[in-house]
Chains A and B, each alone.
Chain A
Amino acid sequence: MKPLEQARPGGRTLPETEAKQKDGARWRTARDTALIYLAVSLGSVIGSVLRAIASMAALAYLGPDFPWGTLFVNVLGSFVIGFYATLTGPGGRVFAGTRQRQFVMAGICGGFTTFSMFSLETFLLVQVGNLPAAGLNIGASIVTWLAAVWLGHILASRLNRLGGV
């Protein structure tokens, strides 16, 4: 607003100009939101396809007795989000804009990890009567997820404190 007023010696902006500016701002906000959704969608595809490959590989090599694939993706995804959030967060050594952060965190990490498959696989273990495996899946998951996000955060904090570029 200010520069325009200065540009006009009369000190008043024309109503049409104001309306145009508001339209422009609204359009930019809508465009930014759409681009964030696009980034989240694209990231989710990458994360989900990688998760599906990991699940298939775990099923092929480790068998169907325990949901290793889901445990693996959830631990790795927790590590990556902890690391990236701290590395690009306030005081982080890497700058990333909102869209880029949402692409990695809400998109790739969000698409890679899954709470629904964890829940379903635990339930199916209970249903077939394998209570020890169900309990182990819950206990091991919660401990390793949280340990992984913490480890990622700690490593990135160390990197942030290092000198140099």
Chain B
Amino acid sequence: MQDVFQQLVWVALGSVLGGPARYFVSGFVGRRVGETFPWGTVAVNVSGAFAAGMIAAAAIGGVFPTSVAWQFAVTGFLGSYTTVSSFSLQTLALARDGQIMRAGGNVVLSLALCLSAVALGYISGSAALGVGAP
């Protein structure tokens, strides 16, 4: 129980930073490229997936220290940095607006880019650290 509590504290510490980081990055990207397509959410989800892949490679290779660091960086920071709720809401908004192509594009693009990014992060992380060949 003590262990669970300690892990939750690290999750909380990571998410204190992760949520505002998402708010900043998605807002920044949205203002730069326009709000007609949810590029801001795509940007945080893709970059977060890439980082998660890298850290997973390090963890599986044994170079990422402890489960506490994982709770902080992955469950806490990256978990709250990336978001499904905004993705869902924005896809629904596009669909309700009659922009079916954009709604479908958001789904396909988000899935394709995030899954590629996590694989790419994992592969580059493994290569950089010389561990856990994919």
Interface residues of A (CB under 8 A from B): 36-37, 40-41, 43-45, 47-49, 51-53, 55-56, 74, 77-78, 80-82, 85, 102, 105-107, 109-120, 122-124, 127, 138, 142, 145-146, 148-150, 153
Contact = CB atoms under 8 A, between A and B. Distances in A.
Contact of B114 (A52, A115, A145): A115
A115 B110 contact: yes
Contacts of B33: none
B83 interface: yes
Contacts of A77: 84-85
Contacts of B84: 74, 77-78, 113-115, 118, 145
Interface residues of B, number: 51
Given A82-B89, A149-B88, A52 B19 contact: no
Contacts of A51: 75, 79
Given A78-B84, A116-B81, A116-B82, A49 B8 contact: yes
B88 A52 contact: no
Interface string B87-119: 111011000100000000001001100110111
B38 interface: no
Nearest to A37: B20
Interface in B70-88: 71, 74-76, 78-88
B8 A119 contact: no
